[in-house]
Amino acid sequence: MGDQIKRIGILTGGGDCPGLNSVIYGIMLKAYDAGIECIGILKGWKGFIENLTIPLNIADHDDLHTVGGTILYTSRTNPFKTNSSKEQVAKDLASKFEELGIDALVAIGGDDTLGVADALYKYADAKVVGVPKTIDNDLKGTHYTFGFWSAVQLASNSMDNLTTTARSHQRVFVVEIMGRDAGFLTMYSGISAGADIILIPETPFDLEKDIIEVLKNRVKSGYKHHIIAVSEGAYPEAESLKNDFKTISQDTINKLPKDTFGNPLLTHLKISQIIVEELNLRDDLKQEFNKNGVDYECRSVILGHTMRAGTPNSFDRILGLRFGLAAMKLIIESKFGNMVSLQGNKMETVPLSEGVKKKYITPDNDKMELRDLLVKIRYLSKQK
Ligand code: F6P
């Protein structure tokens, strides 16, 4: 069983985030204690295929859990993007274990990276376990992923800070926040910072109702500056796109380039800039601002990769270490094909096949109501 494991490989794939090094350090702590050697596989699945490895000697990495990013580098490499069958690719990949001299593998990544790990287990019975990673927090198998709360804090701080310049210039700021398919980052940071409008992918927005009307109501109630938090993946409703938008159409969205896993590269759309351009075309909005003694001015800010940058906060350091420790235990106990998971405040285990499914903000999530009240009640309560 576990005693045949002498050497393991660790890889990190997909977008980086604070806490990846904390996981690596957690794995190394437990591996050292169990007398198991660790090697790092560089650049995710790319390094696995191309034999790019480094030794991981724990004595060389004191306090690695405090450092942001990943010392193993990362890439978005999809080994299944070939003409061969999934089974064949998985079998070919599994033969790399011997070549790399590893008995088991810990894959740290999101749905794409862990999807590959799952196929390796399913089709080739490979000794692989997973650690869920996504800054967007959109993996079904765990309540939280490390890095998420660090990013929420960064975005919330940015919006707090932007408020002072928005106030000085009496401006509208449209702040674009990471989150390709799910709005957790935008929702949590937007509520935390008290953003005036919060737009997420799960609830496609109506330009007229959700933005123009709210801004008009806010200026009528005396507000002179406004912060709009928008997920990079927030889309307009189909009707609104057709009727209200002059600068983009459904065709623009359909033609977006895709990454190697087939995901549309929404950062190319720059929804915050599109919203600014659309608002700038609205004379009725400008007139409402002027009527209320405010010169209309609107700017966009894309937080982008600053949200994944820097050191992990304490929550993410500890969660990363706990995930690392739990993943190493899965290996020692031969519980392959699983990933570690945070349920409440407990470390649990879920099958990779379940864990990699996507998670979204659903209508019953209390943050939905909180958002709607936060947006509405402030201006309503001030109306004469
Ligand atoms: O999936 C995580 C994420 O941070 C998304 O929020 C964002 O769309 C994407 O990665 C950015 O990817 P890249 O680092 O390749 O530009």
Output 285 or 4, whichever has higher pLDDT.
285
Please name which of 139, 51, 196, 78 lies closest in space to residue 340, comparing C-alpha atoms. Answer: 139
Compute the average pLDDT of residues 24-50: 98
SS3 342: strand
* CA atoms within a 13 Å half-sphere pointing along the CA-CB vector of 177: 37
Q: pLDDT confidence of 243, banded at 50, 70, 90?
A: very high
196 close to ligand 1 (CB < 6 Angstrom):
no
**135 Cβ closer than 6 Å to some ligand 1 atom:** yes
The mean pLDDT of the chain is: 95
Both tokens of 207, joined, read: 């330009």
Q: Residue 132 has which token pair?
A: 């869920």
CA of 349 to the centre of ligand 1 (A): 26
3-class DSSP state of 337: coil
Q: Which residue has the higher pLDDT, 267 or 151?
A: 151
The Å distance, Cα 267 to ligand 1 centre, comes to: 8
Q: Residue 178: CB within 6 Å of ligand 1? A: yes
298-302 vs 172-177, strand pairing mode: parallel
Domains of the chain by range and CATH? 2-146+312-355 (3.40.50.450), 151-309 (3.40.50.460)
CA of 7 to the centre of ligand 1 (A): 32
CA 266 – CA 200 distance, rounded (Å): 13
- Using alpha carbons only, what angle is made at residue 179 by residues 173 and 184, rounded to the nearest 5 degrees? 90
Q: Encode 247-260 in three state secondary structure.
A: CCCHHHHHCCCECC
What is the share, in percent, of the chain residues with pLDDT greater than 90? 90
How many CB atoms are closer than 10 A to CB 382? 13
Q: Whose CA is nearest to atom 11 of ligand 1?
A: 15
- Tell me, in angstroms, the distance from the centre of ligand 1 to residue 167's CA: 31
Annotated catalytic sites, by residue? 136
pLDDT grade for 3, boundaries at 50, 70 and 90: low
pLDDT at residue 267 above 80? no
Q: In a 10 Å sphere around its CB, with 0-12 CB exposed, 13-18 middle and 19+ buried, how is residue 17 labelled? A: buried
H helices of the chain, in order, are 20-34, 45-50, 86-94, 96-100, 111-124, 148-169, 184-193, 213-220, 238-244, 250-254, 271-280, 283-291, 314-332, 352-355, 366-380
- The atom number, within ligand 1, closest to the CA of 232 reads 8
Mutating to test ligand 1, I would choose from 177, 178, 200 the residue with most ligand atoms within 8 A of its C-beta, which is 178
| Amino acid identity at 80 | F
Mean pLDDT of 23-40: 98
CB 275 near ligand 1, within 6 Å: no
Sheet-wide strand order for 346-351: 53-56, 37-41, 7-12, 104-109, 128-132, 338-343, 346-351
pTM (2 decimals)? 0.95
Rg (C-alpha) for the chain, rounded Å, is 23
Average pLDDT for 327-343: 98
Mean pLDDT score, 129-154: 97
pLDDT given for residue 1 in this prediction: 46
Q: Is the CB of 141 under 6 A from ligand 1?
A: no
* Residue 187 alpha carbon to ligand 1 centre in Å: 17
Structure tokens of 334?
A: 């031969």
Res 59: pLDDT: 98
Digit-coded pLDDT (tens) for 184-226: 999 999 999 999 999 999 999 999 999 999 999 999 999 999 9
Give me the mean pLDDT over the 171-193 stretch.
97
Query: Residue whose CA is closest, atom 3 of ligand 1?
Result: 15
